[in-house]
Amino acid sequence: MLPSTICLLVLALIGLINSAAINSGSQDVSYDVPIPRGYTREQYVKSVVDYWTSERMASAKPLHPTVSMSPKVFSVKDDEDIGVERVLTPSVASPQTRGANTPPAAGRAFFSMGGNTYVCSGSVVNAANRDTVVTAGHCVFNNTNKEWATNWIFIPDYDSKERPFGTFVSRKLATKQQWKDKGDYNNDVAIVLLNTNEDGRHAQDLTGAFGITLGAPTSAATNAFGFPMNINNGETMSTCASSSKKQSLLLMSSFKGLQITCGMGGGASGGPWLQKYNAATKEGQQVSLTSFSYSLAPGKVHGPHFNTDNIGSLFQENQNA
């Protein structure tokens, strides 16, 4: 049973949710996570870390949409309008690694929505605040129930319940207006700003960070990382080494994203797709992320093609926050 103080915190968060600051622009929307009255930031962070017991983590459900008809997309630009390839931010090597091929900047996210607990994947990206994670829009906002996630945490390099770099609690969630309002899969992207971990350390200082490239080649060697529940119950990081390509216009004429051949299922949503990945330094440029599967394309996963209009503007607005 939860300690009474944590139960009271959960009730307090529910009470505060409607009064929390929600910032909406023409393209981006964000939610500043409230700290309950009477709590310091440090007390709040500890309470959320304590909320995520091993039992809660084990019961978390994966979020990974499988669409049976062409996914919803709006305000789609022609490929020529996406722009030339541009490095938005370069990758940064981790000061410490565990070997193998598991990049510390990739990790597992846990959160609550609608009274249930869920799990996704995400990645630390190089940002001025040193606390920026990229994930899928559906991992922070449910556009059916119009609900932001709560109790959102990120565990970089998660491995069989181990947290080698600690736990990072969210302080701000941000996604695209097109995802929030319309469920547009070309804009199924999100940024989460983190508090420092239990030791007061910034995520990027510990894990290093992936870079972000906009308008990357649609056909290129790609390494995808995530924590799919269909492989070892999501307890270890999985990877797909594939070649990206454009989605077939015959199947999804208005989706301008990418697809790769990959068997990762639910739980991998939000995990990074990297080009120019260096297995020795664990560096790479993120060009997309795992968004959804399509019933008419078995064995494939799909992700938005990073460009100025989706992750580009979202990153620029939040990297200094």
N-term to C-term CA, the chain? 37
d(CA 262, CA 289): 12
What's the pLDDT at 2? 42
Reported as a single tens digit per residue, the pLDDT across 161-211 is 999 999 999 999 999 999 999 999 999 999 999 999 999 999 999 999 999
Please report whether residue 22 resides in a domain. no
Q: Is residue 78 part of a domain?
A: no
pLDDT for the residue 111: 98
Q: Residue 11 falls within a domain, yes or no?
A: no
Question: Taking the model in full, what pTM does it have?
Answer: 0.88
* 254 in any annotated domain: yes
CATH of residue 157: 2.40.10.10
The answer to whether 152 touches 111, Cβ cutoff 8 Å, is: yes
Residue 220 resides in a domain: yes
Q: What's the full length of the chain, in residues?
A: 321
Place of tokens 């199947």: 251
Q: How far apart are CA 187 and CA 60, in angstroms?
A: 25
Q: Give residue-wise pLDDT tens across range 211-226.
A: 999 999 999 999 999 9
Total count of domains within the chain: 1
Cα distance between residue 280 and residue 269, in whole Å: 25
Per-residue confidence (pLDDT) for residue 84, from 0 to 100:
78
Confidence (pLDDT) at 101: 67
pLDDT for 75 equals 42
Confidence of residue 11 (pLDDT cuts 50, 70, 90): very low
Q: Is residue 39 part of a domain?
A: yes
Confidence of residue 94 (pLDDT cuts 50, 70, 90): confident
Q: Can you tell me whether residue 57 is helix, strand or coil?
A: helix
H-helix segments, 38-100: 41-51, 54-59
Residue 288 bridge partners (DSSP): 273
Q: Residue 207's domain spans which residues?
A: 28-62+86-95+102-319
- Residue 37: band (very low, low, confident or very high) from pLDDT cuts 50, 70, 90: very high
Both tokens assigned to 139: 């991992």
Please check whether residue 270 is in contact with residue 141, taking contact to mean a CB–CB distance below 8 angstroms: no
Asked if residue 17 belongs to a domain, the reply is no
pLDDT in tens, 100-131: 568 999 999 999 998 899 999 999 999 999 99
